[in-house]
Amino acid sequence: MNALLALLLFPGGLFVMLNGLAYEWVDRKLVARMQNRLGPRWFQPLADVAKLLGKEEIVPRGADARWFNGLPIVALAAVLTAALYVPLLGILPSVGFAGDLIVTIYLLSVLTLCLALAGSLTSDRFGLLGATRTLTQLFSYEAPFLLALLGPAVVAGSWQIGTILNYASGQWLIVTQPIGFFIAVIGLMGKLELPPFDAPEAHTEIVAGALTEYSGRGLALFRLAKNVALVVGLTLIAGFYLGGIANAFEFVGKTLALLGVIVVLQVLFARLRIDQLVGMWWRVGALLALAQWLLLIGWKLWSAN
């Protein structure tokens, strides 16, 4: 009974989805305000999702209906599972195990993989282009992002989210690992395909990327999945780098502050080309993350002696 509640209401289902929708609104509203617009009303993301759920779902000719309808569900399920392992509202996850950090990060990647598969499912050229770009981007940011999140894990000496959070609370790792923090934030933006990294769904070039052919429920589920991934990612980064998450106030304050940083970056930069992206991630991002990682390991060995 408790487990069911946990899955449907609090850390699992409804709560993260509503939280994700609320954060999407904050994101859109702040962007609008910075562009000198009024911005959407507070229930806008909810109305969008409700409308999409009520619309006709068209399965394009040539696409396998089972895959076409199943992929959004898998994507949403994966990120909802990932939400079980992060300290939402400051409550430590009850189902943690050694190594759940890796599992969480890869569950977040399942979302991206589902997106790419969904795009390549149809013979639509925009979907196909979007899918290749999504995968290219995945391969470029994934390694630096992982390295950046492993930084706190190395100093804490554990790959369990709960342990790392215990270690990180009270000391702001952003001070000792600024590079890792920066790369983690930018990696999250890449994961969610937010503006400077939105080449995979560039509206002005390839219509809507991988999601071009999705109309009703599939689109709604993918949007929800992205919102949940936003909450999970923000929670992870805020917990690791911004001094842990002890209670609900810290959760809301720290994740919103982080969201503010992401919004500013979104507004400031124009879209990067996909080749610029790959170059930037591998030449700058990965190298910097690796250098910091080695430094951390060196420090760890040195202090152990």
Cα–Cα dist 216/230, whole Å: 22
Cα–Cα dist 277/287, whole Å: 14
Nearest-approach distance from CB 49 to other proteins, in angstroms: 8
Helix H, strand E, coil C: the string for 205-250 is HHCCHHHCCCCCHHHHHHHHHHHHHHHHHHHHHHHHHCCCCCCHHH
The residues of the shown chain that bind other proteins, judged by CB under 8 A, are 28, 32, 35-41, 43-44, 47-48, 50-51, 54-58, 126, 203-204, 207-208, 211-216, 219
Q: Name the residue nearer to other proteins (CB basis): 14 or 248.
A: 14
Nearest-approach distance from CB 32 to other proteins, in angstroms: 6
Q: 76-112: string of b/e by CB count within 10 Å (b at 16+)?
A: bbbbbbbbbbbbbbbeebeebeeebbebbbebbbbbb
Q: Name the residue nearer to other proteins (CB basis): 13 or 40.
A: 40
Nearest-approach distance from CB 51 to other proteins, in angstroms: 4
Q: At what angle do helices 100-121 and 65-83 cross, to 10 degrees?
A: 160
Q: Name the residue nearer to other proteins (CB basis): 37 or 273.
A: 37
**Are the beta carbons of 62 and 122 closer than 8 angstroms?**
yes
Nearest-approach distance from CB 2 to other proteins, in angstroms: 29
Q: Name the residue nearer to other proteins (CB basis): 83 or 131.
A: 131
Q: Name the residue nearer to other proteins (CB basis): 43 or 97.
A: 43
Q: Name the residue nearer to other proteins (CB basis): 12 or 127.
A: 127
Nearest-approach distance from CB 110 to other proteins, in angstroms: 23
Alpha carbon distances (Å) from 22 to 6, 19, 43, 132, 175? 20, 5, 8, 30, 29
Nearest-approach distance from CB 265 to other proteins, in angstroms: 20
